[in-house]
Amino acid sequence: MSTLSLAVRDSSTMLRRNLLHARRYPSMTLNLLLTPVMLLLLFVYVFGDVMSAGIGGGGSDRAAYIAYVVPGILLMTIGGTVVGTAVSVSNDMAEGIIARFRTMAIHRGSVLVGHVVGSVLQSVLSVVLVGAVGVTIGFRATGAGVLEWLAAFGLIVLFATALTWIAVGMGLISPNAEAASNNALPMILLPLLSSAFVPVDAMPGWFQPVAEYQPFTPAIETLRGLLLGTGIGHNGWLAVAWSLGLTVLGYLWATSRFDRDPA
């Protein structure tokens, strides 16, 4: 068997294993969905009037704020899902079965690839579920045609892949599940510090660079533009560049950690 087909076959076996875990123990996936849904409802129904008044510069408009906040919440959902990835990778590495995999003549990277593909699928599913909640409370993708929908889907997959590889690295350096969940905290904090809830312009000047120079803001602005028809500008390229950069970085980091002798 060629190296490539070996890699594909073993990776899909590992993917099946991870999906089996997720299916057998869905509580973790569902718990991670709770945070973005809660935040969505909180920001729309509790803070919504004040927030929209501040953003619009005029009167409060809840519908307008729903439109603003949902794309941010969707990408935040990915951040939350990959925290689960870091935890499950760290848990998995503590299992004897991983030592067994290392002594088998299988494609070396398949263990990690299985985690990554499984986690990206989970992210997409989570985004769909949270998106459904958004639609239920009144979100409408007014600016999106078929091309925009495809591009939005592509962005979500690309961004999820990037964050997942980084999260896998975080899981690999964590000695236990608690440490993994702490190490992966930036995945939840960064969207809070991005343009998800308020535009960067509305932030104090000294804080704007924090919001601007991080992956979530360009990704959120791009998704917002695709779904609502607002301007994307250079954010599209920035989002793609961040995603590709983080994917390469995360891949190199995670595989080199995994290739090291286990302790």
Question: Which residues lie near other proteins (CB under 8 A)?
Answer: 1, 9-10, 13, 16-17, 20-21, 24-25, 95-97, 99-106, 261-262
Which CB atom, from 105 or from 147, has the smaller least distance to other proteins?
A: 105
- Using only the alpha carbons of the chain, give its radius of gyration: 19
Which C-beta is closer to other proteins: that of 142 or that of 261? 261
Going by C-alpha positions, the residue among 78, 57, 66, 82 that lies closest to residue 197 is: 66
- Residue closer to other proteins by CB (options 39, 117) is 117
> Smallest gap, in angstroms, from Cβ of residue 113 to other proteins?
14
Identify which of residues 62 and 108 has a Cβ nearer to other proteins in the complex: 108
Which of 212, 203, 196, 253 is closest to 75 using CA atoms?
196
Q: Supply the minimum distance, in Å, between the C-beta of residue 172 and other proteins.
A: 16
Least Å from the CB of residue 32 to other proteins: 17
Distance, CA of 214 to chain centre: 14
Q: Contact 36/130 with Cβ under 8 angstroms?
A: yes
Q: What tokens were used for 204?
A: 């104090």
Q: Is 80:32 a contact under the CB 8 Å cutoff?
A: yes
How many C-beta atoms lie closer than 10 Å to residue 6's C-beta?
A: 14
Instruction: Output the smallest distance, CB 261 to other proteins, in A.
Output: 4
